[in-house]
Amino acid sequence: MTRTVITAPFDPRIAADLPGEVVTASEAETGQSLGARAAADPGFAAVLAEADVVIAELDRIDDAALAAAPRLTLVVACRANPANVDLAACAARGVEVRTTPGRNADVTADFTLALLLATVRHVPAASAWLREGHWSGDDVFEPYARFRGIGLSGRRLGVVGGGAVGRRVVRRAQGFGMRIAVYDPFLPPGALGDDVEHLGLDELLASSDIVTLHVPLTPETTGLIGARELALLRPDAYLVNAGRAALVDHDALLDVLREQRIAGAGFDVFDHEPLASDDELLRLPNVTLTPHIAGASDDVVVEHSRLAAAAVASFFDTKVNS
């Protein structure tokens, strides 16, 4: 009988349907090595020593973890990029690694539109102003003038990256009546429908009312939006990033925002997290900030549980039929 050890947050109904024995030990997932956790907890060490499968989200699967799990044959990382797994160490021991791609694509696309709307309609600033007691009978129309924003219908949304999240953002934005342009050199024209334009990056930046970033972080995309690219944005344009902070040159971005060379921006990701209390971004009035919560949804747990269970089933089915 196989034993699956789950340290990731996991849907109990899906866990119950996994083959063999299932041990859930997710209450203390801290991002530490499972080897270190085993060394500190004899009970967990005994469980891990008999594990054939480990499903983890934050906990690290490194040499120490592999040494503590000599029977291990499969690791499922509940994320698209298995950054918590030492792939070379797993390969050296013959341990297969699978992931749960697209687990948070829908909720991240939802959040992107929420952040976009909050930014262009000044929702956080208006809420803070109201809570501070500024609205009075002396001028009931003051907030109408102070927090006037733009509508989305007819505006051009420039989507940088047409992958799992980008595609979903496109569909949601179309529901608002937006005109959509996409930059993705790996997508052929028409891949997202006849009413989606495919543009080069420079043309997209220069012609969009709002630009949102959804490309994976690679050596090629790090700093993709630098000083030259930011200078292409129109003075009335907005930039939204709920993807990867390092896609944008931080210093160049601060210059643009500080000098108000664009209308505003919304960010859920930052070069250094958590943000320091003296970070300049916190003092800029034209920026909407959220603390890296685009994927913070119970629905993500359900989805990565489903994808992980499918990966486990596929792995053992392949072994049986090979």
| The pairing of beta strand 156-160 with beta strand 210-213 | parallel
Give the residue from 28, 214, 14, 110 showing the smallest Cα distance to 38: 28
CA 251 to the chain's CA centroid: 22
- Whether the CB-CB separation of 244 and 270 falls below 8 Å is answered with no
Q: Pick the catalytic residue from 167, 244, 303, 304.
A: 244
Contacts of 58 (CB under 8 A, 6+ apart): 8, 29, 30, 31, 84
- Whether the CB-CB separation of 287 and 257 falls below 8 Å is answered with yes
| Burial class for 97, CB neighbours closer than 10 Å (0-12, 13-18, 19+) | middle
Instruction: Compute the radius of gyration of the chain from its Cα atoms.
Output: 23
Whether 168 is catalytic? no
Whether 273 is catalytic? yes
Tracing tokens 């500080």 back to the chain, one arrives at 258
Q: Pick the catalytic residue from 134, 258, 273, 280.
A: 273
Q: Pick the catalytic residue from 292, 303, 304, 306.
A: 292
Whether 156 is catalytic? no
Q: Which residues are marked as active site? A: 244, 273, 292
